[in-house]
A and B are shown apart, each in its own frame.
Chain A
Amino acid sequence: MTAIKRRRGMALLAGGLAAGMLLAACGGSDDSASDSAGEETAAEDTAAEDSGGEEDAGGEEDAGGDMAAGCEAYADYMGNEGTTVNVFTSILPPEQQLFEEAWAGFEECTGIDIVYEASDQFEAQLPTRIAGGNAPDIAWIPQPGLLERLVADGGPVAAPAATEALVDEYWNPAWKGYGTVDGTFYAAPLGSNMKSFVWYSPQVFADNGYEVPTTWDELWALSDQMVADGIDPWCGGLESGGATGWPATDWLEQVMLRLYGGDVYDQWVSHELTFQSPEVEAAMDVVAGWMKNPEYVNGGFGDVQTIALTPFQDAGAGIPTGECGMLQQASFYANFWQNFDENATVGPDGTAYAFYLPEISSEFPQPVVGGGEFVAAFADRPEVQAVQTYMASPDFHTSKAALGNWVSANSGVPLDTYAADSIDQLSAEFLTDPNGIFRFDASDLMPAAVGAGEMWTQMTAWFAEDKPTAEVLADIDAAWPAS
């Protein structure tokens, strides 16, 4: 009897302890959260007071409430004080801090708190969150194909007219099309990258007296000259873990857009033009004469087959050493040169620099293949619309571009915002040119079974096993989902 009683007492004690600890644990985290929140609001308050004081001295009263000095640029977004907009993205720190820095002024003036949340599992998590009724206010969609899938399941809401007006004014019309699904405009572009670059070593070019080619014919004349001089003119690498093969899809896209222009490219993307059509076959032949040409490749590594084995990050290793003349890669390849040499710099006098892969015919001027993210909203509260519109404005894009390592295709961003002669500036120059033909990376637009599957696999086999072109194209067509 006493034993049982004591046991019961012990258990009660234990239970009580547990409950207490649980409470303490919850309380603890709550406290710290509210503490930091409190600090933030306090900081904002003082900021508001400070600026408010200045305003009083000026004796101005804006209709939008107490607008602080220096906030005139944000007049359109006023009237949403004390609200929160959360943004879900795939762009991880340290890039996150740069975005937060870029919109700090907006937050301070409008009183809208933009909460940034990033995940490296973005594409898997976003549909789950939407299905669970826990959609973010805004998500940065890294490719139009995903936007289309989301719209089909009924997630995103149409963009406000103000956002659409900004996109109409500042972007190449192709961009708007990629933010539009079934005639409804959903998402404005955010950052962009430019894929139509050829990387080279300015030093090697100067030593050998080579000129940067500006036409298609000059490019091949230069390649042949390099062969004659004992330099392998081209190098490439397809290995990229689970995405092995994508650089080869880029090569085909470059040639497709240059040979046939935007309309045919669009038909190819939508499979009106099959892979087995004569147009695609001809483009494959051009790629074969370029990257599968045993005379031309694979500088620094070996024969054609080594292209399949070489990691794309390593592909340019032979450029600074002069073992390889040129590498067709996107603007982001600028970040890889320091892998080969710690002191590598990118620029017209640096270790490596890029030139624009020339157009083939003047019928299709300045074709550019690129990529980018799109800002889609999942709520139509006024503060969400304000943030969405702000994220399309030249103001925001300029303030972000000024922080470096980021390119916008928004033509409202002055080119001198970017560091002089940086690869970002060169990218922006081509991306914002209203006369150029811009098209999104085709493999990102095609159904995943092709664009993230069979096209990668087959292009890899084309290089690795010398699989016949006709079979490669037939197998890609066969993988296109029926419907």
Chain B
Amino acid sequence: MEELLTGLEKLWSGFLGIVIFGVLIAVLFFIGSRFRGRLSRPAAILIFLGPAALLLVMGLIVPAIRTIFASTQDASGNEFVGWANYQWIFDSQFDIIVNSILWIVITPIAATALGLTLALLLDRMRREAVAKSFIFMPMAISFVGASIIWSLIYEYRAPDKPQVGLLSQIVMWLGVDDPPKWLLWQPFNNYLLMVIMVWIQVGFAMVVLSAAIKAIPSDVVEAAELDGATGWKLFSRVTIPMIRGTLIVVVTTIMFAVLKIFDIVRVMTNGNYGTQIVANEMYAQAFVQFDVGRGSALAVVLFVAVIPLIVFNVVQLRKDRATR
């Protein structure tokens, strides 16, 4: 009974929140509509852009500046140490950066290529929707959940004991007597972790690319076929250029997801056995070892690494729009 009451209370407060928000917006619109003539444009800009700009400044710009500042401080954030934190990253944490770059390069390309292949294959299949749903399903699983599932797959037991891990058992059925301890198997353990990310993202890539392929006008395909294009030629000369914009969006979206990725590594290995990446090390430094300086410096490195990707994304999309 009590739970029901608290549940109702929550529902009620949630409802109230929505109502208050709606009323606030209505009031804002009303105030905006009061301005006439010369003032109306600046007032509209202020009223409609103001809240967003304010939130952006509070939630993004101020923290970014503070983080950059904190990255030049020592562990407790009280003393200026200049470049020392960055020096530390590039001196002793270089393999972390290498791992992160591997993740950013390999995972999006693998997920997109696999997604594209599946989209093409399923395009001609009966019961396409069913197959697609199954491939899309991992997308609904959280990174932590997916990692726990895969840690069961990668689980190791001595070959003379009953096997618990699926991968070990399959490999043993295939005739390997002594499967490796998957998560300790350097440097391949990095790729085994990437498989999890690909597994999650491939459904997204497949669905979006499949939609793009279906959107290719049939007259274009027919014209190409009349000109004698078939198979690979049709694919590489017609399909790919026609879905280029979508491909770029898919690759960059997955890239951003990979940049933030930290759950998989944290759950599977916590960055041990040579699998550490920047985001997880950042968390460990800032919130486990309470070294705000190093944590911030790693955050800045991540931040800087995103910039070229965003630039690439924007430039490509502009180009795409220009050719249309």
Residues of chain A within 8 A of B288, CB atoms compared: 242-243, 448, 452-453
* Shortest beta-carbon distance from A15 to chain B in Å: 6
Q: How far is the CA of A351 from the CA of B166 in the complex (A)?
A: 30
Asked if A183 is an interface residue, CB under 8 A from chain B, the answer is: no
Across the interface, do A309 and B270 meet the contact criterion of CB distance under 8 Å? no
A309 to B155, CA, bound (A): 8
Beyond A18-B19, A449-B291, A465-B184, 18 extra complex contacts between A and B, CB < 8 Å: A18-B20, A21-B20, A21-B23, A124-B287, A241-B266, A241-B270, A244-B272, A302-B158, A302-B161, A302-B181, A306-B156, A306-B181, A308-B272, A309-B184, A448-B288, A452-B289, A461-B273, A464-B272
Assess the B27–A15 pair: CB atoms within 8 A: yes
Say yes or no: A301-B287 contact (C-beta < 8 A), given A14-B23, A18-B23, A464-B273.
no
Q: Are B157 and A302 in contact (CB under 8 A)?
A: yes
Q: Does B24 contact A (CB under 8 A)?
A: yes
The number of chain B residues touching the other chain, given as a range, is 20 to 34
Nearest Cβ on chain B to A356's Cβ, whole angstroms:
31
A453 in contact with B184 (CB, 8 Å): no
Whether A305 and B287, one on each chain, are in contact in the complex, defined by CB atoms closer than 8 angstroms, is no
Q: From A17, A21, A305, give the contact of B181 (CB < 8 A).
A: A305
Q: Mark B16-44, 1 if CB is under 8 A from A, else 0.
A: 10011001101100100100000000000
Q: Is the CB of B27 within 8 A of A18?
A: yes
**Interface membership of A221, Cβ < 8 A:** no
Q: Is A25 on the interface with B (CB-CB < 8 A)?
A: yes
B interface residues, Cβ below 8 angstroms from A: 13, 16, 19-20, 23-24, 26-27, 30, 33, 75, 156-158, 161, 181, 183-184, 186, 266-267, 269-274, 284-285, 287-291
Query: Closest residue of chain A to B271, judged by CB?
Result: A457
List of 7 A-B pairs having minimum Cβ-Cβ separation, nearest first = A302-B158, A18-B23, A11-B30, A448-B289, A453-B289, A244-B270, A460-B272
CB contacts (< 8 Å) of A245 on chain B: these are 272
Tell me whether A309 and B284 are in contact in the complex, defined as CB-CB below 8 angstroms, given that A11-B27, A15-B23, A241-B266 are known contacts.
no
Tally A-B pairs: CB < 8 A: 89
Q: List 10 A-B contacts (CB under 8 A).
A: A17-B23, A244-B270, A300-B161, A305-B181, A305-B184, A306-B157, A308-B273, A448-B288, A457-B272, A465-B184
Return the chain B residue nearest A153 by Cβ. B76
B75 / chain A contacts, CB cutoff of 8 Å: 449, 481
Query: B186: which A residues are within 8 A, CB to CB?
Result: 465
Contact A301:B272 (CB < 8 A) given known A11-B26, A18-B24? no
Considering the chains assembled together, what is the distance between the CA atoms of A309 and B268 in angstroms?
Answer: 10
Contacts of B270 in A (CB 8 A): 239, 241-242, 244
Residue A266, interface by CB 8 Å: no
CB distance from A125 to the nearest CB of B (A): 12
Asked whether any CB of chain B lies closer than 8 Å to the CB of A224, the reply is no
CB of A444 within 8 A of chain B? Answer: no
- As a 0/1 sequence over residues 13 to 28 of chain A, the CB contacts with chain B under 8 angstroms (1 = contact) are 0110110011001000
Per the 8 Å Cβ criterion, residues 357-416 of A in contact with B are none
